Amino acid sequence: CIVHTGRTLLRTTTTTIKMRSCVLSVLLLNVYYTCVSSLYFHIGETEKKCFIEEIPDETMIIGNYRTQLYDKQKEEYLPATQGLGMFVEVKDPDEKVILSRQYGSEGRFTFTSHTPGEHRICLHSNSSKFALFAGGMLRVHLDIQVGEHTNNYAEIAAKDKLTELQLRVRQLVEQVDQIQKEQNYQRYREERFRQTSESTNQRVLWWSIVQTLILVAIGFWQMKHLKSFFEAKKLV
């Protein structure tokens, strides 16, 4: 009885609803971010796990992780204790560190790329107490969102007050933006590939000529030298 008949509602009613929806969204967003995507893997105590993201420039990446530690008494994985944190390091394609921070047992890291290329995201644990691990493994739930997937459409709709159709179109615009950036990056990569191929072509040509010249020169030198040697020895 509300949505499409905006004009017929009293102003106070619509504002209350919008405020409440904003509050609810924010509350649930917080809940959501603690329940991270369920893909997980195991990591040893001193082990460093690296993930590579090849992205165009001006692309945002949001990473969420959650750790669990194996409890021997209860024989199951429980959320990790306070002392255990993860050290997150992000390097850009030129090996420059763009993010290097320590987070708690649960964390969320964000960065935006400024150069296109392979970015490395490395995680390793920094257990302050060795006994925590005791030869066991740490379970890490990880979720990395790139580009258009980082947008939270519920938030955008609430903030810019968009209708359903406007929100859909907004999503399409974001997607097309991402495609455009990727195509740009593709052009830059193809240029590099072409340069490498042309360099190989040049090198093959140059070195073939040089080697042929060396061969011919050496041949002449050998004959000349041997001729003078044999003449000196009075064999010729």
Partner 1 sequence: MTSIATLPSAKMCSYHGTIRLFVQVLWAHLLCGWASGSELTFELPDNAKQCFYEDITVGTKCTLEFQVVTGGHYDVDCRLEDVDGTVLYKEMKKQYDSFTFTAAKNGTYKFCFSNEFSTFTHKTVYFDFQVGEDPPLFPNENRVTALTQMESACVSIHEALKSVIDYQTHFRLREGQGRSRAEDLNTRVAFWSIGEAFILLVVSISQVVLLRSFFSDRKTTMTRVGS
Site for partner 1 in 30-49 (CB under 8 A): 31-32, 35, 37-42, 49
Q: Is residue 57 near partner 1 by the rule CB under 8 A?
A: no
220 contacts partner 1 (rule: CB under 8 A) = no
Q: Does 216 bind partner 1 (CB under 8 A)?
A: no
The span from the CA of 47 to the CA of 122, in Å, is 10
Query: Residue 195 region, left (φ>0) first, then alpha (ψ -120 to 50), else beta?
Result: alpha
Chain residues 67-126 in contact with partner 1, contact rule CB under 8 A:
none
Does residue 143 bind partner 1 (CB under 8 A)?
A: yes
Rounded-to-integer distance, Cα 225 and Cα 168, Å: 84
Q: Report the amino acid identity of residue 217.
A: A
Which stretch, 68-76, 79-87, 95-103, 210-218, contacts partner 1 (CB under 8 A)? Answer: 210-218
d(CA 21, CA 13): 12
Q: Give the up-direction half-sphere exposure of residue 1: CA atoms within 13 A in the CB hemisphere.
A: 3
CB of 96 to partner 1, least distance (A): 19
Site for partner 1 in 171-200 (CB under 8 A): 171-172, 175-176, 178-179, 182-183, 186, 189-190, 192-193, 196-197, 199-200
